[in-house]
Amino acid sequence: MKVEECIFFRLASSSRSGNQFWARRVEQFGLTGVQALIINFLGEENGITLQLLAERLRLSNATLTGIVDRLEKTDWVKRLRNPDDRRSILVSLTEKGRSVAAELNKTMAEANREFLTRFTEQEEILFKDFLNRLYHTPVIG
- Domain containing residue 80: 3-135
Does residue 140 belong to any structural domain of this protein? no
Mean pLDDT of 37-62: 93
Domain CATH for 113? 1.10.10.10
Does residue 81 belong to any structural domain of this protein? yes
Q: How confident is the model at residue 132 (pLDDT cuts 50, 70, 90)?
A: very high
Does residue 59 belong to any structural domain of this protein? yes
Does residue 69 belong to any structural domain of this protein? yes
Segment of 52-56, 73-77, 136-140 carrying the highest mean pLDDT: 73-77
The model carries a pTM of 0.88
Does residue 46 belong to any structural domain of this protein? yes
- What would the DSSP string read from start to end of the chain? --GGG-HHHHHHHHHHHHHHHHHHHHGGGT--HHHHHHHHHHHHS-SEEHHHHHHHHT--HHHHHHHHHHHHHTTSEEEEEETTEEEEEEEEE-HHHHHHHHHHHHHHHHHHHHHTTTS-HHHHHHHHHHHHHHHTSPP--
Does residue 141 belong to any structural domain of this protein? no
Domain count for the chain: 1
